[in-house]
């Protein structure tokens, strides 16, 4: 798992079947790396979240056949990044 911050949404009108109704979010690590994740929890820009990657990312979705390797697992209520 990794902690990341939501920086926005990604809108894609054409998707593979496994991503039909999944919300997609842009995430940034505390070091600045940007990634795209499936969001089954409804995170908003500015929220800090924890993520699951690899096979665990699919299992974190309501439908484990979703085509993803990064999924938001939860919204962090309180956390202060270092520095």
Domain of residue 62, CATH code: 2.40.50.220
Q: Pairing mode, if any, of strands 24-28 and 48-53?
A: unpaired
DSSP 77: S
pTM of the shown model? 0.87
Contacts of range 9-18, beta carbons closer than 8 Å, 24 or more positions apart: 9/45, 10/36, 16/67, 18/63, 18/65, 18/66, 18/67, 18/68
Instruction: Tell me how far CA of residue 29 lies from CA of 5, 11, 65, in angstroms.
Output: 6, 21, 26
In terms of residue numbers, what domain contains 28?
Answer: 2-75
pLDDT tens string 9-49: 998 888 777 777 788 999 999 899 999 999 999 999 999 99
In a domain, 21, yes or no: yes
In a domain, 45, yes or no: yes
pLDDT value at residue 83? 57
């Amino acid at each position: 798992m990794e902690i990341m911050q939501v920086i926005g949404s990604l809108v894609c009108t054409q998707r593979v079947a496994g991503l039909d109704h999944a919300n997609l979010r842009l995430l940034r690590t505390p070091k600045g790396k940007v990634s795209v994740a499936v969001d089954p929890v409804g995170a908003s820009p500015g929220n800090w979240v924890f993520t699951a990657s690899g096979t665990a990312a699919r299992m974190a979705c309501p439908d484990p056949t979703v085509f993803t390797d990064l999924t938001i697992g939860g919204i962090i209520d309180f956390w202060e990044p270092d520095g």
